[in-house]
Each structure stands twice: as C-alpha cells, then as structure tokens.
Amino acid sequence: MRHLALVSVLLGVATLLGYPIVGVLGGMVPSNAAWTPPDQGITLYVESNGVHTGIVMPKVAAGVDWRPIFPAHDLRDPRFAAYDHVSLGWGDRDFYLKTPTWSDLRPTTVIAAAIGSDRTLLHVDHVPRPAPDGEVRRLVVRPAEYRRLAAYVRATLVDGGERRHGYYRYDAFYQARGRYSALRTCNSWVGDALRFAGIRVGAWTPFPATVMWWFPRHN
C-alpha cells in the first residue's frame, strides 16, 4: 500500500511538472502553418487578461449578424448593446459564476475545473472596437475564415439554453457545449476556434501565452 501511495504521489508530481512543459511545446507547434493574413478583410482582436483569452468580433460582418443571437435584452443595461463588437470567451460554469473577481478565486474551484466539467458557459461582453496594445492583438481574416469562426462559436452555444446576466451591465452568460478541463481550457477553446477557421495558431493552446504569441503586438 505504501508503495502504491508513493507511486501515486510521484505520478502526481510528474504530471504537475510536465503539464506546463507539454503545454508550451503544444503551443509552439503550428496549425495551418501556411496561413498568412490578407491585406484586406475582417478585423478581429485576440485579447488576454493574463489568465483568460477571448476573441473580439464585429457584430455585423461577412454576412454574420450577432445582434439577434446576443440581444440587448440579455444585458442588465440594454444601452450597451449599441456597441459594435462582442468579446467572446468560453469556460467552466462554476468557475465563471463563483469568481466574479480574482479575490473570489478559491483553490477548490480551480481544482474542480481542472478535473473537468460538462457544464460550460459562453461569456459575451458588448464592447466598442478595442485599441491594440500588449494585451489586445489585431487580426485580419478573410470573409470565409470569419464565417467559419462564427460557425464554431454558434456550434458552441446551446440553442434555447440558459441565459443570465454577467458581472457588469454590458455582459451576459449563455449555456454552452463542450467539456472544460486542464486539457481543454478557456484558452484551448480560443485556439480551437481560430484553428477551425483556418488561422495559424498553436496545435494546443492551454495557456494565454500559447495563444497570444501567434499574433504581433503591433500590426
């Protein structure tokens, strides 16, 4: 029994030490390696708060209209729906709802999310067009690529699913599909969405850096 306990501890330590290494290596391997941005197209933004990444998309572009999907009446203050962009992120339901601020973060919430949950949400902020900086990267894509990205987001949503107010007056949560875990994080979802659209990004992007380093700081 002691031998089995020791083996379990060693495997746990190896997993904790190996996870960031494998994650960084996975983020360095390119998918859609031949992709290059067009001279003209649809302008998107990839953003990070240091822990979580998201995709900022125009509400109306390339035949895609997000306004009926993320309507004004889903917000605490419908006036914010006048903004022309939405910022989209995906994640574990309990993590989102139990962590309105970082001071609310609890180890048990992190551990439960890492183990895995099928209860996920899409977090949608109504925002103006952002200004690119160190935490917001500009990305230009072709109309067909934008439509594929939009299709990926739509497939994440549960039609007729739960909708609830977000943290502030300008955001909302929507019931989503997909299993969240340490292997498929919020950042992995962003990488998966961009990869599905045909955009050059890492093969596995579990961390913010593994998403953000694919896009120049100033372009």
Residue 13 pLDDT greater than 50, yes or no: no
Alpha helices in the chain (DSSP H): 2-28, 93-98, 107-115, 143-156, 186-197, 208-212
**pLDDT at residue number 112:** 76
Q: Which residues of 52-71 are buried (b: 16+ CB within 10 A; e: fewer)?
A: bbbbbbbbebbebebeebbe
Tell me the residue type at 173.
F
Residue 168 pLDDT greater than 50, yes or no: yes
The tally of CA atoms less than 13 A away on the side-chain side of residue 96 is 25
Location of structure tokens 């943290």:
167
Rounded Cα distance, 200 and 144, in Å: 15
| 169 compared with 6, residue with greater pLDDT | 169
**pLDDT at residue number 25:** 85
Residue 10 pLDDT greater than 70, yes or no: no
- Residues in CB range of 93: below 8 A, 6 or more apart: 117, 119, 120, 121
Residue 26: pLDDT band (50, 70, 90) is: confident
What are the backbone angles phi and psi of residue 172, rounded to the nearest 5°? -150, 160
Rounded Cα distance, 117 and 112, in Å: 8
Task: Please give the structure tokens belonging to residue 133.
Answer: 């900086």
pLDDT tens-digit profile of 83-138?
999 999 999 999 999 887 777 767 777 777 778 889 999 999 999 999 888 799 99
**pLDDT at residue number 104:** 76
Residues 144-167, mean pLDDT to the nearest whole number: 97
Rounded Cα distance, 165 and 183, in Å: 28
Rounded Cα distance, 90 and 176, in Å: 8
Q: Are strands 30-31 and 201-202 parallel, antiparallel or unpaired?
A: antiparallel
| 12 compared with 143, residue with greater pLDDT | 143
Residue 7 pLDDT greater than 90, yes or no: no
Rounded Cα distance, 77 and 5, in Å: 54
User: Within 10 A of 92 (CB to CB), how many other CB atoms are there?
Assistant: 25
Rounded Cα distance, 69 and 52, in Å: 23
**Residue 192: which of 158, 161, 154, 149 has the closest Cα?**
149
Q: Are 186 and 10 a contacting pair, CB within 8 Å? A: no
**Residue 123: which of 82, 63, 164, 77 has the closest Cα?**
164
